[in-house]
Amino acid sequence: MNKITGQKKTILSGMQPTNNLTIGQYFGALKNWVELQHDYDSLFCVVDQHAITVRQEPANLRRRSLDVAAMYMAAGIDPTVSTLFIQSHVPEHAQLAWILNCLASFGEVSRMTQFKDKSAQHADNVTVGLFTYPILMAADILVYNADLVPVGEDQRQHLELTRNLAERFNFHYSPTFTVPEPFIPKVGSKIMSLQEPEKKMSKSDANEKSTVFLTDTDAEIRNKIKRAVTDSGTDIVFDAAKRPGVANLMTIHHICTGRSLAEIESDFTGLGYGDFKEAVGESLVALVRPVRERYDALRADEDGLMNTLRVGAEHARERARNTLRKVYKKTGFVEL
């Protein structure tokens, strides 16, 4: 809450509809959106324009955009409290992105590590869009003057760039944009792959065993946890550097049950990996099952979903249009 105006502060975040969402997205971001939405003026979007920075099959993109919107709601985003919309329904994001593109330097954007990773993954098709991706993200945030952006650890660098662009615009023209802060949770901001625990769990991982999706069945979840890579030790102790596989499972169990890491260590003293993995599997099933069931019901009502997205887009557009009008004027574009 702003002490002077009494108005709620604004949060904005988004996810790419490149696949079903994973527990990584849920623990790192979505769960926090749900918790924060009542205390903030909240906007959440499905960033379909970000998704096309790597090649997408149009029918898949269309379906997945709706899947992700339904998953936001299944996880607890209430569209009567938060504004829920699809990025491409608000063209002002891309319009602002162009102006920010002309403010960002090639050098600073070249330093983005996500671009380096993703361009290596898609070496046969490194698009200019993939390079300027963080600028569109900055526009998503700045067009609503968001104060806070709840994301996972991997987005910290993009948030820093967003802050720099906001400050640069404010300096060169006049104070216009709020300089946003990242909101990165202390626990869960980087859930690791179940098969290669040195790597982030990713919804685009070719090996499905690495990833628990929020749409997975109970049996799939239990199985993936049972087969998760651990290490040659036997006891359950938290050591993220030396024993990342066990540490990752402990983090997951901690978030699902609320037991602290120390309590988990003592709960499993004298027990082996088998017992521990079984408990993690059960706690995760208990968390994911209700989300999946709500998702199935929400996704089955496509008309209802479209109506929600229509209302969200109208609300978002009105706000974005206001910011863009000011930005165009300050930039020196002729008003009609």
Query: Token pair of 192, please?
Result: 């690791």
Which residue from 141, 191, 201, 305 is in contact with ligand LTN, where contact means CB under 6 A? 141
- Half-sphere exposure (CA, 13 Å, Cβ side) for 12? 26
Name which of 139 and 327 has its Cβ closer to ligand LTN: 139
Binding mask 244-263 for ligand LTN (x = CB under 6 A): --------------------
CB contact burial 118-150 (16+ within 10 A = b; e otherwise): bbeeeeeebeeebbbbbbbbbbbbbbbbbbbbb
Query: Token pair of 82, please?
Result: 């938060």
Binding mask 265-284 for ligand ATP (x = CB under 6 A): --------------------
Binding mask 26-65 for ligand LTN (x = CB under 6 A): ---------------------x--x---------------
Rg (alpha carbons) of the chain, rounded to whole number: 21
Measured over the CA atoms of residue 215, residue 220, residue 223 and residue 228, the dihedral's sign is negative
- 3-class DSSP state for residue 141? helix
Query: Token pair of 103, please?
Result: 């403010």
- 204's contact among ligand LTN, ligand ATP, none, with CB below 5 to 8 A by partner kind, is ligand ATP
Region near ligand ATP per CB under 6 A, out of 175-183, 198-206, 229-237, 306-314: 198-206
Cβ of residue 70: shortest distance to ligand LTN, in angstroms? 18
Binding of residue 16 to ligand ATP (CB under 6 A): yes
Cβ of residue 319: shortest distance to ligand ATP, in angstroms? 21
Sheet holding 181-183, edge to edge: 83-86, 41-46, 10-15, 148-150, 181-183
Name which of 156 and 310 has its Cβ closer to ligand ATP: 156
Which residue from 11, 54, 74, 191 is in contact with ligand ATP, where contact means CB under 6 A? 191
> Rule CB under 6 A: which of 29-58 touch ligand ATP?
29
- 200's contact among ligand LTN, ligand ATP, none, with CB below 5 to 8 A by partner kind, is ligand ATP
Phi, psi of 200 (to 5 degrees): -65, 140
- 12's contact among ligand LTN, ligand ATP, none, with CB below 5 to 8 A by partner kind, is ligand LTN
Nearest-CA neighbor of 246 among 260, 255, 235? 235
Amino acid in position 311 = V
Query: Which residues lie below 8 Å from residue 225, measured CB to CB, with a gap of 6+?
Result: 194, 212, 249, 277, 280, 281, 284
Which residues of the shown chain bind ligand ATP in the complex (CB under 6 A)? 15-16, 18, 24-25, 27-29, 151-152, 154-155, 189-191, 200-204
